[in-house]
Structure 1
């Protein structure tokens, strides 16, 4: 998939296209219905399929004091747009100045003028232009005047009436319901970050962990202990390695922690050296909330149970604590 960040990146020989637009945060099932229609229509017409997305998130630009935590990083978003079959994605740098374009200016200048749209595919809830006053009906009216076709894709959701959306994913993650979030996403929820040095308390107890911190990991679920996978690139290879992990999210109240971190213990491994690596964490199921215990022995008993629970959820062999003397690094 081609990725364009400015008009200069767009090939000069670009022909007509089928365009879809949106933030596509998480690229959930609702997004994929729109993307599938975009790709199918482009193939039927023999033209390129193009997605217009925005970075940073418009809500963060308009309300900087209440920034949106993205469900997925921009890199993962682009990977998933490519996996959906999109031929090219234009990443529009979103600013307050850019947001001043009227609906007609936005459609005529960017979608039709810059991206050469002969057809536009959006969800039925799409909004665009200054103040988000543009909608599906306005898009159809503009299509009649400017000469492009419009396809509105109906909302999709679950049997309980919840519409699949990035907002819904965030709601579920805020409750620790990572399996519910996976139903909307169509895959496990993933965060990504660089492994950094922690306090190394876990390795002293036989539970070495890969520690991730920072504000750019993606949407971190509610505090608790989870079963999941640590995903890393195999050194000197493009292949991905999935390692079963017990994942702790929180401030570590047992040791009066303050900073919220994500710590992943790979079951049974004492030989990993992950410092400085960019890894992903896939959350599969929440095992329990985060709380402190009356003694270190009580904590260790619960951590042993967490390892058993993780192995059961993931369908892998059970592994106990590792020998602290054999831990190389993590």
Structure 2
């Protein structure tokens, strides 16, 4: 189990002296996993806890609040993924303008030394910290020598086309509905987590009852119909088809909503916090001329989603834990 801890106070004694991977890690994608894997390996070698130091909210939200940011992995989902990778704890440092104004020396002395008591830091080769980004790789290595902790810098991770894997690339792919290529960069199927809430119950009257989930307003996933897998709070997994959008046939002014129809399932899901993993984009939203053609299309969507999901295989151990 990966515990979530605040970054403004000392760690419990049993977690001090650990190896700490440092970064924002939005998406926990394959590039991040290269850094995280080195931290896990170093912790195993030293026989100490493996931890992650991350920052919330995302720095861009602080410095450019006027620009909506599609966060791939909000804190709860990020912690869940890090737990599945094998980390003991994720330390969530509140990122504010006041925190960003601290010097690089303050970051090392107050966060890494006093609060975390690290034995080793692992981060990307371009990690910078402190006011005006004054702390960089060379500074961190010198600080480690001075303070008695090791430092490992990890080069940029490139995909099979020799392109650097980044959160921005993944956001762009998801905004285009390309769940398959996004999964290739993530190393697992893109997954969201939310509470199941009440809806209009129209799907139930049409024979397609849905589990409705409101996602953050900044979620820039392309609107449309997807083949998905739905994991309940108890861990049970269901193949499903989901609609993300504004339901143009029945509600022209509706807020974006994720509506998931679980195959071969009946029951009450209200109030459960569940996960939905996206496997493939089936089609865009269409405004139908009445409910009959809508139901006919929904039946075709179900058949296509069943066929797609019947042939999928895990991309990695993490994907197996998330979506299989």
Secondary structure, in 3 states, of the residue corresponding to 1:117?
Answer: coil
Corresponding residue number in structure 2 for 1:17: 18
> Does the aligned pair in 1 maintain the 2:197–2:270 contact within 8 Å?
yes
Is structure 2 residue 258 aligned with structure 1 residue 245?
A: no
Rounded Cα–Cα distance in structure 1 between residues aligned with 2:274 and 2:105: 43
**Among candidates 253, 262, 265, match of residue 258 of structure 2:** 262
> Does the aligned pair in 1 maintain the 2:31–2:158 contact within 8 Å?
yes
Rounded Cα–Cα distance in structure 1 between residues aligned with 2:87 and 2:302: 40
Corresponding residue number in structure 2 for 1:130: 131
Secondary structure, in 3 states, of the residue corresponding to 2:172?
Answer: helix
Rounded Cα–Cα distance in structure 2 between residues aligned with 1:27 and 1:277: 24
**Among candidates 301, 304, 310, match of residue 305 of structure 2:** 310
Rounded Cα–Cα distance in structure 1 between residues aligned with 2:100 and 2:92: 15
Against the structure 1 CA distance between its residues 16 and 196, is the aligned structure 2 distance closer, same or farther, given a 3 Å change threshold?
closer
> Does the aligned pair in 2 maintain the 1:170–1:219 contact within 8 Å?
no
Against the structure 1 CA distance between its residues 51 and 268, is the aligned structure 2 distance closer, same or farther, given a 3 Å change threshold?
closer
Against the structure 1 CA distance between its residues 253 and 92, is the aligned structure 2 distance closer, same or farther, given a 3 Å change threshold?
same
In the TM superposition, residue 230 of structure 1 has moved relative to its aligned partner by 1.4
In the TM superposition, 1:46-65 aligns within 5 A as 46-65=47-66
Rounded Cα–Cα distance in structure 1 between residues aligned with 2:15 and 2:189: 36
Deviations 1:84-109 (A, max 9, x none): 22233221122211111122221232
Rounded Cα–Cα distance in structure 1 between residues aligned with 2:201 and 2:3: 42
Deviations 1:102-137 (A, max 9, x none): 222212321133222232111112121123343223
Rounded Cα–Cα distance in structure 1 between residues aligned with 2:67 and 2:229: 30
Against the structure 1 CA distance between its residues 246 and 220, is the aligned structure 2 distance closer, same or farther, given a 3 Å change threshold?
farther
> Does the aligned pair in 1 maintain the 2:10–2:116 contact within 8 Å?
no
Secondary structure, in 3 states, of the residue corresponding to 1:40?
Answer: helix
In the TM superposition, residue 311 of structure 1 has moved relative to its aligned partner by 0.6
Corresponding residue number in structure 2 for 1:276: 271
Corresponding residue number in structure 2 for 1:321: none
> Does the aligned pair in 1 maintain the 2:8–2:93 contact within 8 Å?
no
Against the structure 1 CA distance between its residues 7 and 255, is the aligned structure 2 distance closer, same or farther, given a 3 Å change threshold?
closer
> Does the aligned pair in 1 maintain the 2:16–2:118 contact within 8 Å?
no
Question: Structure 1 stretches of 5 or more lacking a match?
Answer: 235-239, 317-330
In the TM superposition, residue 2 of structure 1 has moved relative to its aligned partner by 4.1
Rounded Cα–Cα distance in structure 2 between residues aligned with 1:272 and 1:2: 31
Is structure 2 residue 69 aligned with structure 1 residue 68?
A: yes
In the TM superposition, residue 13 of structure 1 has moved relative to its aligned partner by 6.5
Secondary structure, in 3 states, of the residue corresponding to 2:79?
Answer: helix
Secondary structure, in 3 states, of the residue corresponding to 1:195?
Answer: strand
Corresponding residue number in structure 2 for 1:296: 291
> Does the aligned pair in 1 maintain the 2:189–2:279 contact within 8 Å?
yes
Corresponding residue number in structure 2 for 1:93: 94
In the TM superposition, residue 295 of structure 1 has moved relative to its aligned partner by 4.2
In the TM superposition, residue 59 of structure 1 has moved relative to its aligned partner by 1.6
Against the structure 1 CA distance between its residues 38 and 214, is the aligned structure 2 distance closer, same or farther, given a 3 Å change threshold?
closer
In the TM superposition, residue 162 of structure 1 has moved relative to its aligned partner by 2.9
Rounded Cα–Cα distance in structure 2 between residues aligned with 1:205 and 1:15: 56
- Please tell me whether Structure 1 or Structure 2 has the larger radius of gyration of its CA atoms: 1
Is structure 2 residue 221 aligned with structure 1 residue 226?
A: no
In the TM superposition, residue 205 of structure 1 has moved relative to its aligned partner by 1.7
Rounded Cα–Cα distance in structure 1 between residues aligned with 2:122 and 2:76: 23
> Does the aligned pair in 2 maintain the 1:191–1:220 contact within 8 Å?
no
> Does the aligned pair in 2 maintain the 1:178–1:283 contact within 8 Å?
yes
> Does the aligned pair in 2 maintain the 1:103–1:133 contact within 8 Å?
yes
Deviations 1:134-174 (A, max 9, x none): 32233223334434322111111222333222222211111
- TM-score, with normalisation over the residues of structure 2? 0.87
Superposed CA RMSD in Å reads 2.2
